[in-house]
């Protein structure tokens, strides 16, 4: 087997492995509720130092004491209408146990509307849309660079 075929085969195998590797053993999500405490706006916008809201999901009491397996980060947008017709909007960021990796809109009652967004990478519940794992993009870029260097070296 010549060198270029061997390198190509190795690159394909590495790319396949990288596509299925999870970035870490435990998941870290932002955890806060914009309706609670003096940090409401900080939670809503993640301004200031957002690290104060970072939470390793494996360190939550349910995970430690009851074996709950948190597999997604969740961001919820709640719109709550009161009796006078005023809407209160809340953003809740948390660890979750399940959910499709997309955003879904639900109307619970005529006074409560909720949009759930789930994602499965660290701190992905910060943005308004789900972020895909950057591992695949980084590994693809690295392989392109390696191929370019190998090709230049062999020619």
Could you give the CA distance from residue 38 to residue 117 in angstroms, rounded to a whole number?
24
Quick one: fold of 26-132?
A: CD59 (2.10.60)
**pLDDT above 90: percentage of residues in the chain:** 25
Local structure of residue 134 (DSSP, 8 states) = H
- The residue with tokens 């005023």 is 86
Are 115 and 105 spatial neighbours (Cβ–Cβ below 8 Å)? Answer: yes
pLDDT in tens, 83-139: 777 788 889 999 999 888 999 998 877 788 899 999 999 999 986 543 333 444 444
* Domain extents in the chain: 1-23+133-155, 26-132
Q: What is the pLDDT of residue 112?
A: 85
Determine if the pTM surpasses 0.85: no
Strand partners, 91: 77
């Amino acid at each position: 087997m010549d060198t270029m075929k061997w390198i190509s085969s190795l690159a394909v195998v590495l790319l396949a492995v990288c596509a299925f590797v999870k970035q870490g053993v435990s998941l870290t999500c932002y955890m806060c509720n914009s309706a609670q405490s003096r940090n409401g706006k900080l939670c809503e916008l993640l301004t200031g130092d957002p690290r104060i809201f970072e939470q390793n999901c494996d360190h939550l009491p349910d995970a430690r004491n009851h074996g709950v397996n948190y597999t997604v980060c969740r961001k919820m947008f709640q719109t709550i209408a009161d009796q006078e017709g005023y809407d209160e909007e809340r953003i809740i960021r948390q660890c979750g146990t399940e959910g499709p990796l997309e955003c879904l809109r639900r109307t619970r009652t005529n006074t409560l509307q909720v949009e759930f967004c789930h994602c499965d990478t660290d701190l992905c519940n910060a943005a308004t849309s789900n972020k895909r794992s950057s591992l695949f993009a980084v590994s693809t870029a690295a392989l392109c660079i390696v191929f370019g260097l190998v090709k230049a070296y062999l020619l």
